[in-house]
């Protein structure tokens, strides 16, 4: 699997956010996007994950069969970010079952149980998401993003709201992801740079 960014440009009105971003990431490697606040890290993650369109340029997902059409890209993506929320009225289990079935995860009950235990949320499956603390919600977002073992995992601010134990678990997961799949991390924390095989600095 390859993730290719070609000449990505993004403008909001007259404000130029991203100019000519080019890179290629292959399975088994990682990319860290770094830069100051407001430099366009989140915008680039949203463009790469097909949530917003670039003003110019294109994002290509390529596997052994060729380029993947834009409307099928979502099948290959897992994304954790502060702007992605889960359904607050539903319980964690209801959220996860919904996303797992949408992703056509086989044996989703065992997968959910495994990930909930790994992220330290076992026993809280039947609580509504709105009853979760911000740190627990962040852990739940990881569970949700990892359900279908995505080929490309995007993480925007990996440490956000997590305690030290949560950060350690997340680092383990991210290290596993980059062994045979693609990992893209957006961060302005210098410690996250140790996850990087490639680094892109955006802004200025």
Partner 1 sequence: MKQTWLIFVKDIQQEFKTRYAINAILLFAVVTLSAVSFAIGTFTAGSQVLSALFWVILFFSSMSGLSHIFIREEESQTADTLKLVASPMHIYLGKFLFNLILLFALEIILVPLFIAVMNFKLGNFPLFLLTLFIGSFGMAGGGTMVAAIISKASSKGALFTVLAFPIILPVMITGISATKKATETTPIASAQNELQALFAFGVIIITASILLFDYVWNE
The contact set with partner 1 (CB under 8 A) reads 46, 49-53, 71-72, 74, 77, 79, 83-90, 94, 98-99, 101-103, 144
Closer residue to partner 1 (CB): 33 or 47: 47
Closer residue to partner 1 (CB): 50 or 169: 50
Q: How far is the CB of 10 from partner 1 (least distance, A)?
A: 11
Closer residue to partner 1 (CB): 3 or 144: 144
Q: How far is the CB of 148 from partner 1 (least distance, A)?
A: 9
Q: How far is the CB of 113 from partner 1 (least distance, A)?
A: 20
C-alpha span between 80 and 142 (Å, rounded): 6
How far CA 64 is from CA of 1, 67, 168, 182, in Å, comes to: 7, 8, 34, 15
Q: How far is the CB of 103 from partner 1 (least distance, A)?
A: 6
C-alpha span between 135 and 161 (Å, rounded): 5
Name the percent of the chain in helix, strand, coil, to the closest 5: 35, 30, 35
Q: How many helices (H) and strands (E) does the chain have?
A: 5, 9
Closer residue to partner 1 (CB): 73 or 199: 73
């Amino acid at each position: 699997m390859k993730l290719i960014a070609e000449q990505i440009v993004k403008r909001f009105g007259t404000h130029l956010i991203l100019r000519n971003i080019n890179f290629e990431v292959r399975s088994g490697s990682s990319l860290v996007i770094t830069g100051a606040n407001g430099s366009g890290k989140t915008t680039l993650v949203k463009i790469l994950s097909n949530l917003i369109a670039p003003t110019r340029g294109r994002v290509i997902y390529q596997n052994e069969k060729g380029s993947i059409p834009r409307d099928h890209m979502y099948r290959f993506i897992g994304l954790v970010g502060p702007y992605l929320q889960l359904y607050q009225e539903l319980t964690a289990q209801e959220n996860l079952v919904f996303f797992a079935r949408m992703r056509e995860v086989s044996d989703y009950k065992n997968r959910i149980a495994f990930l909930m235990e790994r992220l330290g949320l076992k026993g809280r499956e039947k609580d509504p998401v709105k009853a979760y603390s911000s740190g627990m919600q962040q852990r739940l977002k990881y569970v949700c993003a990892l359900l279908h073992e995505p080929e490309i995992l995007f993480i925007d601010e990996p440490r956000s709201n997590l305690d030290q134990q949560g950060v350690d678990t997340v680092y383990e997961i991210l290290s596993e992801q980059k062994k045979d799949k693609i990992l893209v991390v957006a961060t302005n924390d210098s410690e996250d740079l140790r996850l990087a095989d490639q680094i892109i600095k955006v802004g200025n």
